[in-house]
Structure 1
């Protein structure tokens, strides 16, 4: 949702130059080459659930400031907004996600369990999130409902993560 909605909001509503928004996202995305493996490694040390919950908390705390930075229409502030939301907030959740989800399943059903849960969840919620964000913004003329939607998604995700078991130090199930 972050990339698609941010570009649409920055260029459509805020009337920013498309290249500014795209370069900010490109720079932030380039940092993912380094930070996703690092955050995955860090989750091996502190725990996957802890890392994901820290990322969710960062996202909750940053949901409104993210839009405030975009609304400055300043190239530097837009780049800063993307440098915080993508390689920090999002990737604290994304970095350990593959290991967390895979390790929740026994090795003999792991592939099916991960695929079904991740693909259906991604299509139903991740795939529709930019449209829901756009609809919320269009209906209200404000990004506040969009930020609240992001926060609600983080809360639901936190409950799901905390309902599962910690897998970082469970070496018996690794195949």
Structure 2
């Protein structure tokens, strides 16, 4: 492991010598990730992007991209754009990135099943803000807003998310 890796542990997400409380998928971790299973995929995942809401926060890093009103994420396993960022209008099933709640005000994008998505293998494993402490996700990793912002300001293009086989908590 490298010093700038984000490592999921039974007690939280370890990064640069600190431990940050976090939540994972509602069904735990899996090596057999599937669309809609609510699980966090085991493995080593690169951080491939950062998105943020410019109307709600300052740019967290110089390489972060703003989320616009028409930005979506395709989660339709039959769509050509499955597991890709798309723009409205978009007829296939999708998730809005510009949400009314603050969950996606800051998103760290992982390379899970990206850029060449395998259908039904699962889409969009993000690191984002949680609803509240202990509230699980649909497979993403979520943190308190302040902790997510601290991490976002310090990650680099070499940062990886490591979800070990022993991540079940």
TM bin, normalised by shorter chain, reads under 0.3
- Could you say which structure has the larger radius of gyration? 1
In proportion to residue count, which structure has more helix? 1
Larger strand share, 1 or 2: 2
TM-score using structure 1 length: 0.24
TM-score (norm 2): 0.24
